[in-house]
Amino acid sequence: MASPPVRTRSRLAPDERISEIMAVTRQLLSEKGYQNVVTSEVAERCGISEGTIYKYFDSKRELLARVAEEWFEEILGADENPPPGAGIRTRLRQLVWKGLSIIRQEPSLSRFVLMELRSDPTYRTMRIYELNRRFTARIGDLLQEAVSTGVFRADVSVRLLRDMIFGCIEHRTWAYLRGEGDFSVDEAADGITNVIYRGMLMPGVQDEGASPQSKTKR
């Protein structure tokens, strides 16, 4: 092992320190999952003492929750509006694509939010709950609209459709995470949209046709 790197007592502005701690924690969360993030390792990677973490965060839980929130906000912030006058299919694809790419970009963090935080008794009171809810609601609203306007059949619940979409997104992503095969956001978005749209389209309604991929292509 190398001699310690000068061990100069680093001194940062609070904001920078907070950022650093959160960045390191995000990374760690990404690598190991919530239960396995340990304060001592956060401190070590930051090159600070454990005590310093507690200067800025009341508890490990708070730290993790804030990391998740920040990240979620970051991602959901960048929101394109749907093209005006776009049909159900186009708008559905856009949302599915967004969901896929979110998880694709930060899969372990997704997992943390989706699996760990969501089980927290106070989850419902956290800001991240609201952020999360807002996104799923957009898909739910779109599906509801499709049913209400007679574009979609009414024989499968909106609830189940939402589960199919998010379930597929999550499943696909985790498989990717575990190194199982490749994963194209565009292809997956197309596939999901196609199956759901065609599977739900009311007989007799004109199919919008697949939206040209280029529209949402990154």
Positions that interact with a second copy (CB under 8 A)? 33, 35, 115, 118-119, 123, 155-157, 159-161, 163-164, 166-172, 174-175, 178, 181, 187-188, 190-192, 194-200
Nearer to a second copy, 75 or 100 (CB): 100
In sequence order, which residues have a C-beta less than 8 Å from that of residue 96 and are 6 or more positions away? Answer: 139, 165, 169, 189, 192, 193
For residues 50 and 186, which CB has a smaller minimum distance to DNA in the complex?
50
Q: Output the CA–CA distances (angstroms, integers) from residue 154 to 36, 150, 187, in the order listed.
A: 44, 8, 27
| Distance in angstroms between the alpha carbons of the first and the last residue of the chain | 44
6 near DNA, judged by CB under 7 A: no
Site string for DNA, 43-72 (x = CB under 7 A): ----xxxxxxxxx--xxxx-----------
In this complex, which beta carbon is closest to a second copy, that of residue 54 or of residue 86? 54
CA torsion, ordered 89, 216, 188, 182, to nearest 10 deg: 180
Contacts of 198 (CB under 8 A, 6+ apart): 207
The interface partner of residue 9, options being DNA, a second copy, none and the CB cut-off 5 to 8 Å by kind, is DNA
Residue 148, binding choice from DNA, a second copy, none, Cβ under 5 to 8 Å by partner class: none
In 18-143, DSSP assigns E strands to none
Where does this chain bind DNA (CB under 7 A)? 9-14, 17, 36-41, 47-55, 58-61
